A and B are shown apart, each in its own frame.
Chain A
Amino acid sequence: MADLAAPLRMYPLGDAALVLELGQAIDPATHRLIQAFARLLDQHPLPGLREYVPAFTTLTVYYDCRALPQASGLPPYEQVASYLSALLPAARAAAMEYAPGALVEIPVCYGGEFGPDLEVVAQHAQVTAKEVIALHAHAEYLVYMVGFAPGFPYLGGLDAQLATPRRAQPRPLVPAGAVGIAGMQTGIYSLPTPGGWQLIGRTPLRLFDAGRAQPSLLKAGQRLRFVPISQADFQRLAS
């Protein structure tokens, strides 16, 4: 359990970003504080705010010095740091009241050509392929952050039984929509990329689409559940 009264660490990432460190480990309480802080920043944007990037234990705030008052006598970094420090009590209070994000259902066609490593995961877990699917689709996951590639979610909540090491040889090309496991992580490839995760299924949904106003299907703070579907459903949803 994160100590919500722990002192906050702040440090610069160069001359145009400030990192707020709001916890030490991947845990839901730290995540709630980061989300609460991000929502506060949406409501009270600091002058010169370019954007922010939530991660497991940090919220990185990108700012443009030009928009900060130069007559204040405070250097730009100090102005940003004091602005963010002033938001902290409200963020802590909001984190206590934090309502979980929306639950998103991700249809997945498990096994077969879409899940070439399903048996590998099953053998590693010493269960049947059917049980792997049941365990994977039973859990509720939390989107801790989106990164690595556009729309790629880092999910928490994988059943420890399913944890499987990465493949010894990464595949040169993993298709978009592939659902995989790597150690204690499970995730969904958002673009065709090389990758070493154990692939157990595929979703017909597009995790990233530049043509949408919200290009990423998922965002940090959402909850997620996988719903097993048949190959026929996959084809229907994909078309």
Chain B
Amino acid sequence: MNISVLKPGLLTTVQDQGRFGYQQAGLVVSGALDAVALCTANLLVGNPETAAGLECTLRGPTLRFETDALLALTGADLAASINGQPVPTSRPVAVRAGTVLAFGAPPRGGRAYLAVAGGVAVPVVLGSRATYLRAALGGFQGRALRAGDELPVGEWSATGVRLFAALRPANLRGWAAASWWAHVTPPRAQPADALLVRALPGPEYEQFTPESQQNFWAQTFGVTTEADRMGCRLSSPALTRHTAAELLSSAVTFGTVQVPAGGQPIVLLADCQTTGGYPRLAQVISADLGRLAQALPGTRLRFQVITLAEAQALYLAQQQRLRALRSTIQLRLIYDK
């Protein structure tokens, strides 16, 4: 029950929904940048939401499945293929032992998620399988995948077994994809030129000048080359405060937009530190955190203001859709018999 890594891709890490409960020890949460996409992929292969999968960045890995496997791809389309045939995303895909999954050179890359039935069964460290690269903790030996790694796969759920059986992959190709697919995040009107994320004013929002406040919501930011799982620095005309007063360090989290002295904002991501001393201009809403997984150097980003009540309603609706997807997949199995 394992997967051989033939080529590691640009940056492929084992991630799950994150490591909670240790932030007071200074330990970052980590986990998938697009937790909803990983969760969706898990549901599509019958896994619990907490199972670990792979986060692939821009150029995905080349993997050989040493045993029969059921997989699902979500997030950005990184042009996955088996034997040169494209593998569709957002649906269960059954593959026979010996199958090689490769990724191409997508025109517009980002981050993709791969779940396999049974989950990637690396050891649980402090309650999670997420990789925290900086402390070499969790995941596969605390690091990004390398050629030659053998990823362990866990026990399949009964749902996973039935989803696999329903696809009857014994055909000649050696693999089969479901005819149905599922999206949890409904497509929303996006400006063609930028990634739109909704945000709430942050704790220090009132310290910024009215011009800076307006500019923050009005302008389009470019993501600079300083962008990784910890955060991404944006380029913009300087955003300034009324005051130069230093702040005492306080909590920061995934989605916090902080503005260092230079005035160029930084959006913190899943591997961000637990506390920081820069003013917090805004906070991206939970329901849109997954969109930040597609913020890579060169991406254009825009922020849209929203109310706290709306943000919480959107989060609850998103979680409700995940629950609905789980039920729908069960119904699908009954229907497919």
Contact = CB atoms under 8 A, between A and B. Distances in A.
Interface stretch (B156-164, B179-187, B272-280): B272-280
Nearest to A193: B134
A216 interface: yes
B24 A219 contact: yes
B251 A56 contact: no
A75 interface: yes
B109 interface: no
A61 to B, nearest CB: 9
Nearest to B285: A15
Given A13-B283, A191-B134, A51 B20 contact: yes
A14 interface: yes
Interface residues of B, number: 40
Contacts of A11: 203
B135 A208 contact: yes
Contacts of B135: 149-150, 191, 208, 210
Nearest to B142: A210
Interface in B244-264: 248-251, 253, 255-256
Contacts of A14: 200, 202, 253, 255-256, 283-286, 311
Contacts of A186: none
Most chain A CB inside 10 Å of its own CB: which residue of B137, B203, B273, B280: B203
B160 to A, nearest CB: 25
Contacts of A16: 253, 286, 315
B10 interface: no
A53 interface: yes
Given A26-B248, A77-B308, A147-B273, A53 B23 contact: yes
Contact of A55 (B251, B284, B316, B319): B251
A152 to B, nearest CB: 5
B126 A15 contact: no
Contacts of B100: none
A76 B248 CA distance: 28
B285 A215 contact: no
B253 A147 contact: no
A238 to B, nearest CB: 19
A19 B316 contact: no
Interface in A145-163: 145-152, 154
A219 B135 CA distance: 18
B312 A148 contact: no
A54 B24 contact: yes
Given A19-B250, A66-B316, A208-B135, A51 B21 contact: yes
A50 interface: yes
A202 B204 CA distance: 37
Interface string A164-206: 0000000000000000000000000011000000000000000
Interface string B305-337: 000110110011001000000000000000000
Nearest to A217: B25
A55 B26 contact: no
Contacts of B250: 19, 55-58, 60
B305 to A, nearest CB: 13
Contacts of B280: 13
Contacts of B24: 51-54, 146, 219-220
A17 interface: yes
Contacts of B27: 150-151, 208, 215-216
B72 to A, nearest CB: 24
B125 interface: yes
B48 to A, nearest CB: 16
B28 interface: yes
B125 A146 contact: no
A208 B132 CA distance: 14
Given A15-B285, A57-B248, A150 B312 contact: no
Given A15-B315, A146-B26, A55 B249 contact: yes
Nearest to A54: B24
A65 interface: yes
Nearest to A191: B135
Nearest to B319: A66
B50 to A, nearest CB: 14
A62 interface: yes
Most chain A CB inside 10 Å of its own CB: which residue of B21, B125, B200, B250: B250
9 contacts: A13-B253, A15-B285, A51-B23, A55-B250, A57-B250, A65-B315, A75-B308, A147-B26, A147-B273
Interface of A: 11-17, 19, 25-26, 50-58, 60, 62, 65-66, 70, 75-77, 145-152, 154, 190-191, 208, 210, 214-216, 219-220
